[in-house]
């Protein structure tokens, strides 16, 4: 291969790498986490707000799990690359609420990941039980659609 064509190849490879890493992180779509929970996120409005639904695979209660609504907001709605966001799920089968905060990443191959941390506030009967009412954890979501 000539010098010219190898330089051209290198330029194309570098360009495609930088395009993949600068890819915009889109929250809209269907996502699944490592527990098997699925969520659907809508497109953003002009202020970066979105809505969606959450189907958890696990629950702290024995009640029948119901798909539950969520509302969230993304920082810098028109930004390229990693974006931060937060959303709240209002469970329809329990008195608890979960808030998630996270960041969206795109790897060099274009694979998107939502790295999140959540707080789940459970409903307790009295103020005396408040100390045990909050759980914390992390979830990683990957795109299904």
Q: Which residues bind ligand BTN (CB under 6 A)?
A: 33, 35, 37, 56, 58-61, 91, 94, 96, 98, 118, 120, 122, 137, 139
Q: What's the closest the beta carbon of residue 61 comes to ligand BTN, in angstroms?
A: 5
Beta carbon nearer to ligand BTN, 8 or 57: 57
Task: Tell me the closest approach of the beta carbon of residue 139 to ligand BTN, in angstroms.
Answer: 5
Residue with Cβ nearer ligand BTN (63 or 80): 63
CA distances from 83 to 35, 87, 114 (A): 23, 13, 10
Max distance between CA atoms of the chain, in angstroms, equals 78
- Closest contact distance (angstroms) between CB of 27 and ligand BTN is 16
In the complex, residue closest to ligand BTN by CB: 37
How many whole angstroms separate alpha carbon 135 and alpha carbon 145?
29
**How far apart (Å, rounded) are the C-alpha atoms in residues 124 and 136?**
16
CA distance 8 to 14: 10
How many Cβ atoms sit within 10 Å of the Cβ of residue 104? Answer: 21
The nearest distance, CB 112 to ligand BTN, in angstroms, is 18
């Amino acid at each position: 291969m000539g010098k010219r064509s190898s330089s051209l190849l290198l330029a194309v490879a570098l360009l495609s790498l930088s395009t993949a890493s600068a890819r915009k992180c889109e929250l809209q779509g269907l996502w699944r986490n490592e527990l098997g929970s699925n969520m659907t996120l809508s497109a953003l409005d002009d202020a970066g707000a979105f809505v969606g639904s959450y189907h958890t695979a696990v629950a702290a209660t024995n009640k029948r799990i119901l798909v539950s609504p969520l509302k969230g907001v993304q920082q810098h709605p028109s930004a390229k690359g990693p974006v931060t966001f937060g959303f709240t799920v209002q469970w329809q089968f329990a008195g608890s609420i979960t808030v998630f905060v996270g960041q969206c990443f795109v790897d060099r191959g274009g694979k998107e990941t939502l790295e999140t941390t959540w707080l789940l506030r459970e409903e307790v009967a009295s103020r005396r039980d408040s100390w045990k009412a909050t759980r914390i954890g992390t979830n990683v979501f990957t795109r299904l659609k």
